[in-house]
Amino acid sequence: MTEYKQEQEMEIEALEAILMDEFKEIHSSESGLNTSNRCFQITVTPQDDEMEDSAIPPVQLALVFSHTENYPDEAPLLDVKSIRGIHVSDLTILKEKLEQEASENLGMAMIYTLVSSAKDWLSEQYGQDDAADLAEEEAAKEDEVIVPHGEPVTLETFLAWRERFEAELALERAKLMPESALTAPKEKKLTGRQWFESGRGRGTVVTADEEDEEEDEEDIDFEDEDFEDDEEDMLEHYLAEKSDSSAPPSRT
């Protein structure tokens, strides 16, 4: 075993002892790193002394690394992935930060140093209050139910709505009617006397001029009461005409 391999094995044993369940070995195909060497993943959460051990952290990321052949004299392969609540843009910033720190710590075991730096960065970017707000916001989006809002319906509001609706409906119907129907004059109704004297009651032909004169008269509804009011005059007028037609011609 080379000196580099021995130092790498010692660091892995130390990380397992310190991090315990937060440290695990993963297959190279799961790591996202371009290597066939052993790969490891460390779960990183923000520093929070007040959070209970059983509580689920609002933000969490995975630090993935693999030792290169000449580590620690050359930087390890690194990647960061969001486990919960980390924005992709923030992951890019953190990865660049860790790679910069790795280049500054060449010649010494640095993985635990990088883990501590990631914890501090998470605490700064996603403090307890901000992380809690982010977690609540994401939970609210998942559980969001759209509740319709509107004015409650009462008898008064319904009657007002119906009145507006009927007015709008009448207006639409008027728009659909031909203009001739809207401008045509209404036919005037005759009283009983006017109907009888016009000749319609006796089958007499009425000329157009006579009809025009009749239309100029007062517009009164043609009702049964009109006949009752003029009954006596109509009967007297009829009997007089009957008497004249049946009388013998006078002799000269």
Residue 107 lies in a domain: yes
pLDDT of residue 68: 95
Q: Residue 206: inside a domain, yes or no?
A: no
State the pLDDT at residue 130.
Answer: 53
- Rounded to whole angstroms, how far apart are CA atoms 1 and 10? 12
Q: What b/e readout covers 156-189, taking b as 16+ CB neighbours within 10 angstroms? A: eeeeeeeeeeeeeeeeeeeeeeeeeeeeeeeeee
The residues of the chain scoring below 50 in pLDDT are 54, 131, 205, 208, 218, 220, 222, 227, 252
Task: Give the Å distances, CA to CA, from 101 to 78, 98, 126, 147, 228.
Answer: 11, 5, 21, 50, 116
Q: For the domain that residue 67 is a member of, what is the CATH number?
A: 3.10.110.10
| Whole-number pLDDT of residue 167 | 86
Enter the tokens of residue 3: 């000196």
Residues whose CB falls within 8 Å of the CB of residue 157, separated by 6 or more in sequence, listed in order:
151
Structural domain boundaries enclosing 36: 1-126
Q: What is the pLDDT of residue 192?
A: 63
Place of tokens 């977690």: 135
Q: How many domains does the chain have?
A: 1
Q: What is the pTM of this model?
A: 0.50
With respect to residue 168, please indicate whether it lies within any of the assigned structural domains.
no
Cα–Cα separations (whole angstroms), residue 122 to 60, 86, 106, 240:
8, 9, 24, 119
Residue 239: alpha-carbon gap to chain centroid: 83
Quick one: pLDDT at residue 120? 92
